[in-house]
Each structure stands twice: as structure tokens, then as C-alpha cells.
Amino acid sequence: MFPKACEYGIRATIYVAEQSLDDKRVSLMAIAHEIGSPLAFTAKILQHLVKHKIMHSAMGPSGGFQIEKKQINQISLSQIVDAIDGNAM
């Protein structure tokens, strides 16, 4: 069983990856809504994922979160868990 933060991180990564395959950037609000997580909590989780280079973020009206297509198949579950929880698991 994963902690709630890891669960949301996994769900967010999957959602962003799906949207990235269609060349779409996803807003923080859209991700939070899709994964059923509070906005501030989602922002903190996404911050960890960006810091660990699992996804990228861009500011501005056409900004949002995205994962490079070539990187999508290389992301592992352990990378996501490590980015959010460190070596706690």
C-alpha cells in the first residue's frame, strides 16, 4: 500500500503521460481535478516530480505539465515513489 502522496503522484504521472502523447500540456487544476487531490497538495507533488525530471512544467497562458514522449516508456514506478517519498519505502 502506497502513502496517499505516492498514489496521487502515480495517478498524476499517468494522466500527464496520457495527455502528453497527444502533445497537450495539462494545468495544475486539471490534474488535481482528474486525480481527486486538493490543489495545494497536488502542486507539492508535481513540484517533486518536476525536480526529479519525471515531468516538465512551463509557466504562462499556454503552460502546464508535460512529459516528453520519448521519456514516457522509461519512467518507472520506483522513480515516482523515490521522487515523492525518497527512500522511505
Backbone φ, ψ for residue 5 (5° rounding): -60, -40
Question: What pLDDT, on a 0 to 100 scale, did the predictor assign at position 87?
Answer: 59
One digit per residue, pLDDT tens: the chain, 89 residues? Answer: 678 999 999 999 999 999 999 999 999 999 999 999 999 999 999 999 999 999 999 998 889 999 999 999 999 999 999 999 885 44
Question: How is residue 48 written as a grid cell?
Answer: 517533486
Question: What pLDDT, on a 0 to 100 scale, did the predictor assign at position 57?
Answer: 96
Q: Mind spelling out the 3-state secondary structure of 19-85?
A: HHHCCCCECHHHHHHHHCCCHHHHHHHHHHHHHCCCCEEECCCCCEEECCHHHHCCCCHHHHHHHHH
All domains of the chain in start order, with CATH: 4-83 (1.10.10.10)
Q: Is the pTM of this model over 0.85?
A: yes
Question: What pLDDT, on a 0 to 100 scale, did the predictor assign at position 89?
Answer: 42
Q: How many CA atoms lie within 13 A of 69 on its CB side?
A: 4
Question: What pLDDT, on a 0 to 100 scale, did the predictor assign at position 2?
Answer: 75
